[in-house]
Structure 1
Amino acid sequence: MSSKAVLFDLDGTIVDSVPLIIKCYGKGLSRHGVNASRDELLSLMGLPTWQVVAELLKTREPAVIEGVIKDIFSCFSQYWQKELKLYPDTMHVLSELKRRGFKLGVVTSSEQEHAEITLNFFNIAEYFDVIQGRVNDLKPKPNPDMILHVLDKLKVSKTDAFFVGDTLYDCLASASAGVKFILVTRPWGESVLGKCKPWKVLKELTDILEIIS
């Protein structure tokens, strides 16, 4: 096996889930009297659900936050099997990187169970050596903890690792971890370049095959 690793964010990077996430945040928040704009929601994309909800509700009251999250997850559970899809080049990229000998991992602020269910649903869990979702003992992005934890599991140096993501928080976490960040440009990621400098920028996920070896 190669001593190099490629780590991927999940939502908005390899799984086209952002439209559904926006829809369900909107439904959950509106039931509690908050009408967040699409731009507001997109600016917080990449943070854990509880943090997004706390920011938009302007409260840290656990019972209130948990009530909104319950409604968001209820919406997600209703629609995800019909509305989530892989980005068209995801399977090809994972297959080719695996063929080239890279160790692969997922680092996502989504809950561990959600990450595993999603990857298994699309039959791509087998490509990943480590799947790391949000758990209580690791600080989520933009902290570097989850990235460093996965690299430790993979026994790969941070100088031999790449992190692929679509949000500012992916970029900040990579910078803090000392890992090369590769930005996949999505419609909501335009603000990243003004606040954090990626190592490389991709127009499409498949472009990664031209820049790492």
Structure 2
Amino acid sequence: MLFDVDGTLVDSVYLHVVSWWQAFRQYGHDVEAARIHRAIGMGSDKILGHLLGDGRSTEDDAGLRAAHGSLYAAYWARLRPLPGARRVLEGCRSRGLRNVLCTSASRPELEALLACLGADSLIDTVTSADDAGESKPSPDIVEVALRRSGLPADAVVFVGDSVWDVQAAGHVGIPCIGLASGGVSAAELLDHGAAAVYEHPLDLCEHLDEALTTAFRVALSHP
């Protein structure tokens, strides 16, 4: 099982939204919070171009990323796991599955997320934005996770909360189970190709066998 972290296991999406909104304002950009929310899940190598346009001057990009990182770091102590985050990892482990974290977070952010989860003993492999050339929706991070776990794509299911997770998994033929805990609707996740959608990790845990069966059935029907 490949798991995204922000919005999938940890309740952090809207903290990222506020941090980016403030960072943009510091540099004279008035970007609506709703647009920022829809971009969360991309790494910082993608989100600035997505929200500000690729034709912009990039001289402030490093400052914007640094501002976001500093503002978001102020929230680290307030991060909380989403309902059932540890339980779903335990459920996967009890079924003989490996748990792999696959996130566009930077390494410092990932360390804060891991501390919040407190589930190191249940996690087999971790990949972050620092391990790949491009972040989601590029499949780079997913491909790194596959190599490190030693598993083929047809033996893996991705769990994520954003359309970027669904797209990244789809690029390498991995079915994606969506969670609505990051604020994206079930309908939108399904429209982008999610095999099934659950409310949060606890909901997934309570329907884990059903979810896995559905995901692999979808994968087999779309070789």
Q: So what's the TM-score if we normalise by structure 1?
A: 0.88
Larger CA deviation: 121-130 vs 102-111: 121-130
Q: Measure, in 2, the Cα distance between the counterparts of 1:204 and 1:16.
A: 10
Superposed CA offset, 1:163-206 (max 9, x none): 00011110011111111110112363223333x11122213323
Q: Greater CA deviation, 120-129 or 141-150?
A: 120-129
1:144-176 per-residue CA deviation (whole Å, 9 max, x = no partner) reads 222122122212121111000011110011111
Structure 1: give runs of 5+ residues left out of the alignment.
1-5
Post-superposition CA distance 1:52-98 (Å, at most 9, x none): 1233333554430111111111111222212x110021011111211
Q: Is the 8 A contact 2:131 2:141 kept in 1?
A: no
Q: 1:102, CA displacement in angstroms?
A: 0.7
- 1:57 partnered with 2:52: yes
Tell me what 2:95 maps to. Answer: 100
Which has the higher mean CA deviation after the structures are superposed, 156-165 or 135-144?
135-144
Aligned-pair Cα RMSD in Å: 1.9
Determine if the alignment matches structure 1 residue 201 to structure 2 residue 203. no
Task: Give the corresponding residue for 2:74.
Answer: 78
d(CA) in 2 for partners of 1:156 and 1:187? 27
Superposition pairs of residues 115-130 of structure 1, within 5 angstroms: 115-130=110-125
Shift of 1:133: 0.3
Deviation at 1:142, TM superposition (A): 1.2
Structure 1 match to 2:104: 109
* CA distance, structure 1, for counterparts of residue 36 and residue 149 of structure 2: 33
Cα distance change of structure 1 residues 44 and 66 upon mapping to structure 2, 3 Å threshold: same
Q: Does residue 69 in structure 1 map to residue 65 in structure 2?
A: yes
1:44 match:
39
Verify the 8 A CA contact 2:8 2:182 in the aligned structure 1. no
Distance 1:110 1:60 in 2: 24
* Among 143, 155, 161, the residue aligned to 1:160: 155
Q: Mark the CA change 1:51 to 1:174 in structure 2 (over 3 Å): closer, same or farther.
A: same
Aligned CA distance change for structure 1 residues 180 and 104 (closer, same or farther; 3 Å):
same
- The answer to which of 134-143 and 43-52 deviates more is 134-143
Greater helix fraction, Structure 1 or Structure 2: 2
Gaps of at least 5 residues in structure 2 are: 214-223
**Aligned residues, how many?**
206
Question: Quick check: 1:20–1:80 contact (8 Å CA) kept in 2?
Answer: no
Contact 1:106–1:128, Cα closer than 8 Å, also in 2 = yes
The TM-score with structure 2 as length reference comes to 0.84
